[in-house]
């Protein structure tokens, strides 16, 4: 074989390997976007004059294929493919190439639930509420997991029967945290663990969905346990 042919053959091999690695790397990661607007339009093209194909409410999860230079994301929402403004999406990446361990799988779902909770920060507390128009404590937790296709029990005490028990020393983002009132063992309040000793919750009438510490104040004294959603 001539030197030129050897060089060409080697080049083909190198290109093939690089292409294979690129495809593999792409396959390892999948991006999702959590809607942060009250209602996000999914359009046929990447501009605001384009036809609206669907509308995704706050906290909805969209599959994200890519984001262009104009910050428009190519997305899929309930089987409808179109474009959504990246300005109103909180995008996170999930590694899908390797079969995750139990802990990794939980962490992925928990992080997704936490992203939904973040998108609801500032929404008013409404007794009995479980939508972006207003939340009570268990309504917020119920809504966050509902957006991921997981249906929890609706009442705080019953939500502490969902999933599996988690020791306080092993809390992960997305875990459901329960609190009691007084001497009763009844779970009267729940929140979503956000990491670093913080949670996101809907506290009470007159307040809004917000971050709060588990390490200080009354919540540190009322802590009753945590549950992790694994399905």
What is the residue extent of each domain of the chain? 1-98, 102-228
> pTM of this prediction?
0.58
Domain spanning 1-98, CATH class: mainly beta
Residue % of the chain over a pLDDT of 70: 78
Asked if residue 229 has pLDDT above 50, the reply is yes
Could you tell me the fold of the domain covering 102-228? Answer: endopeptidase fold (from Nostoc punctiforme) (3.90.1720)
Q: Is 144 an active-site residue?
A: no
Asked if residue 218 has pLDDT above 90, the reply is no
Q: Is the CB of residue 175 less than 8 Å from the CB of residue 107?
A: no
Sheet with 187-195: list strands edge to edge. 164-166, 223-228, 176-180, 187-195, 198-201, 210-213
Convert the pLDDT of each residue in 75-90 to its tens digit.
987 778 999 999 998 7
Q: Do domains 1-98 and 102-228 have the same CATH topology?
A: no
First vs last C-alpha separation in the chain: 58
Cα separations in angstroms, 73 against 79, 87, 96, 99, 199: 15, 9, 20, 27, 30
* pLDDT, position 100: 39
Q: How confident is the model at residue 56 (pLDDT cuts 50, 70, 90)?
A: confident
Q: Is 137 an active-site residue?
A: yes
Active-site residue, selected from the candidate residues 58, 120, 144, 201: 201
Active-site residue, selected from the candidate residues 58, 120, 137, 144: 137
Convert the pLDDT of each residue in 139-173 to its tens digit.
999 999 999 889 999 999 999 999 999 999 999 99
Tokens of 88: 């109103």
Active-site residue, selected from the candidate residues 58, 120, 144, 189: 189
Q: Is 201 an active-site residue?
A: yes
């Amino acid at each position: 074989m001539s030197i030129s042919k050897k060089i060409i053959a080697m080049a083909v091999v190198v290109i093939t390997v690089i292409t294979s690695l690129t495809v593999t790397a792409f396959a390892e990661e999948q991006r999702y976007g959590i809607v942060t607007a009250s209602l996000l339009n999914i359009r046929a093209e990447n501009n605001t004059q384009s036809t609206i194909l669907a509308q995704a409410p706050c906290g909805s999860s969209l599959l994200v294929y890519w984001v262009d230079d104009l910050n428009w994301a190519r997305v899929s929402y309930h089987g409808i493919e179109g474009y959504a403004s990246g300005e109103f999406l909180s995008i996170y990446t999930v590694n899908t190439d390797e079969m995750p361990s139990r802990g990794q799988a939980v962490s992925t779902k928990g992080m997704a639930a936490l992203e939904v909770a973040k998108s609801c920060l500032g929404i008013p507390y409404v007794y009995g509420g479980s939508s972006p128009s207003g939340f009570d404590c268990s309504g917020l937790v119920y809504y966050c997991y509902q957006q991921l296709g997981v249906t929890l029990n609706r009442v705080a005490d019953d939500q502490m029967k969902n999933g599996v028990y988690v020791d306080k020393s092993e809390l992960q983002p997305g875990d459901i945290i329960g609190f009691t009132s007084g001497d009763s063992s009844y779970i009267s309040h729940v929140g979503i663990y956000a990491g670093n000793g913080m949670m996101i919750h809907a506290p009470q009438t007159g307040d809004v969905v917000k971050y709060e510490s588990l390490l200080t104040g009354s919540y540190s004294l009322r802590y009753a346990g945590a549950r992790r959603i694994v399905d």
